């Protein structure tokens, strides 16, 4: 079952039965599992605890986007996913400026300029990088789907690249999970 961390869930979140959800909000609404201010880091979850983090209209209420992204990176598993929505700065002033709890709104390029591996080192705000799987603006709202890049932990594609063309005589020494991965893609071990 997918372990999902839903941030800023509010009072009306409908739990998905296909996911094992942890609902977090800064206010103790009915149904909230964890009451926590996301400006306070580290968040009260272990490393690699969740398959997905969902933050719909949350980051514009926070003091530090880099700290948020770093914490999401930390709690996500290898191959995990961040789903985020936030108003795009400058597109709809009513959406971005009428809420007195908005701290800051962002532009689409915020995620490109500061969080992908080819650009983030230019600024040096974080060493935690992201693969952007989808990034679009619809009706004045930025929609981001990203996956953390965890360089010291092999991904399936990195493992596959490393073992393709290997001498078969060494397959008996491969870990079980690698042999399972090979079977999954149809390669004999």
Q: What is the CATH number of the domain that holds 65?
A: 3.40.50.150
Run of H or E residues at 122? helix 120-123
Task: Taking residues 95-103, report their average pLDDT.
Answer: 78
State the CB neighbour count (10 A cutoff) for residue 90.
10
Instruction: Band the pLDDT of 154: cuts 50, 70, 90.
Output: low
Residues 145 and 163 both lie in one domain? no
Query: Whole-prediction pTM value?
Result: 0.78
**Do 88 and 109 have their domain in common?**
yes
Q: CA torsion sign, 152 to 111 to 47 to 122?
A: positive
Q: Do 9 and 54 reside in the same domain of the chain?
A: yes
What band does 169 get if pLDDT is binned at 50, 70 and 90?
very low
Which segments of 26-113 are extended strands (E)? 34-35, 50-56, 76-87
If asked whether residues 45 and 102 sit together in one domain, one would say: yes
Is there a single domain that holds both residue 177 and residue 145?
Answer: no
Lowest mean pLDDT among 15-19, 72-76, 163-167: 163-167
Q: Do residues 6 and 22 touch, judged by C-beta distance below 8 A?
A: yes
Looking at the structure, tell me whether residues 57 and 113 fall in a common domain.
Answer: yes
Lowest mean pLDDT among 15-29, 59-73, 174-188: 174-188
Same domain, 158 and 137: no
Residue 164 has pLDDT above 90, yes or no: no
Over residues 106-124, mean pLDDT: 90
Helix pair angle (176-184, 156-163), 10° resolution: 90
Regarding whether 68 and 18 lie in a shared domain, the answer is yes
- As for how many domains the chain has, the answer is 2
More confident residue, 170 or 95: 95
* Structural domain boundaries enclosing 36: 2-149
pLDDT of amino acid 161: 54
Mean pLDDT estimate for the chain: 85
């Amino acid at each position: 079952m997918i372990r999902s961390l839903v941030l800023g869930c509010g009072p009306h979140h409908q739990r998905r039965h296909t996911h094992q959800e942890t609902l977090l909000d800064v206010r103790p609404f009915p149904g909230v599992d964890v009451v926590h201010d996301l400006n306070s880091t580290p968040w009260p979850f272990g490393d690699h605890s969740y398959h997905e983090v969902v933050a719909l209209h949350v980051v514009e209420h926070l003091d530090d986007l880099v700290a948020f992204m770093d914490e999401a990176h930390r709690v996500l598993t290898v191959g995990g996913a961040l789903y985020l929505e936030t108003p795009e700065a400058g597109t709809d002033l009513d959406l971005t400026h009428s809420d007195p709890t908005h701290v800051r709104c962002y532009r689409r390029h915020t995620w490109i300029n500061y969080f992908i591996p080819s650009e983030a080192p230019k600024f040096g705000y974080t060493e935690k990088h992201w693969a952007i799987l989808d990034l679009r603006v619809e009706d004045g709202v930025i929609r981001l789907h990203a996956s953390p890049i965890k360089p010291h932990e092999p991904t399936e594609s990195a493992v596959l690249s490393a073992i393709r063309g290997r001498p078969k005589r060494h397959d008996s020494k491969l870990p079980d999970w690698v042999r399972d991965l090979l079977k999954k893609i149809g390669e004999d071990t």
